[in-house]
Copies of this chain bind each other. A is one copy, B any other.
Amino acid sequence: MTMPKRDTYTPESLLAVAVEVFNERGYDGTSMEHLSRAAGISKSSIYHHVKGKEELLRLAISRALDGLFGILQEPEARDGRAVERLEHVTRRTTEVLMTELPYVTLLLRVRGNTDTERWAMARRRDFDHEVAELVKQAVADGDLRPDVDARLATRLLFGMINSIVEWYRPSRGGAATADEVADAVVRTAFAGLRI
């Protein structure tokens, strides 16, 4: 057993440890004991920072959601043709997923057993809904193909973006950069792979 270390955590650095454990064990499968062991500080030290693991979940999910909903407030997401706004949102969602990887991964994996989990799922649906509205508008403008149903197109778009959490690791040398991945997603989804 390792000696408990002095508690030098900030809320942010404690959160980073908690999110790692949540993603590894699942939120349900994580106890305060697991968090204490991963952080190397006592449970009472953790309680000094937060009320419990559900508060850590709420903080982590908030960070992912703030990143995602922030995109919708950007000028490029608010002004102009729907298709251009949609391409911007697609590129930025891909970027936020990669820069906030552990937080967005947690958001995508949460299944609703607690109020916080259900809130996370509801907010995620809200975000998907905003994007689906952009897709619908772009189809109505005649800028997106009418032979792919708007709801299905939205699902496939998010399917492509969200799958990045399965393989993207920022530390892995030689792999694609966040910029290259975002470009590839926008090109593939909007222009298609065929020349």
A149 with B180: in contact, given A155-B167, A163-B158, A163-B160 (CB under 8 Å)?
Answer: yes
Binds B, one of A10-18, A59-67, A184-192: A184-192
Whether the pair A194, B149 counts as a contact (CB closer than 8 A) is no
Identical copies of this chain, number: 2
Interface 0/1 of A139-172, CB less than 8 Å to B:
0001111011100110111111111101100000
Whether the pair A149, B164 counts as a contact (CB closer than 8 A) is no
Whether the pair A144, B190 counts as a contact (CB closer than 8 A) is no
Whether the pair A194, B193 counts as a contact (CB closer than 8 A) is no
* A106 interface hit (Cβ, 8 Å): no
Whether the pair B194, A83 counts as a contact (CB closer than 8 A) is yes
* A1 interface hit (Cβ, 8 Å): no
Whether the pair A191, B188 counts as a contact (CB closer than 8 A) is no
Q: Is the interface of A mostly helix, strand, loop or mixed?
A: helix
Instruction: Tell me which of B143, B149, B160, B180 contacts A160 (CB under 8 A).
Output: B160
A148 with B189: in contact, given A159-B163, A163-B156 (CB under 8 Å)?
Answer: no
Number of interface residues of A (CB under 8 A): 37
Whether the pair B155, A188 counts as a contact (CB closer than 8 A) is no
Whether the pair B193, A144 counts as a contact (CB closer than 8 A) is yes
Please indicate the chain B residues that have their CB under 8 angstroms from the CB of A192 in the complex: 187-193
A193 with B160: in contact, given A155-B167, A188-B153 (CB under 8 Å)?
Answer: no
* A3 interface hit (Cβ, 8 Å): no
CA A193 to CA B135, docked complex, whole Å = 10
* A176 interface hit (Cβ, 8 Å): yes
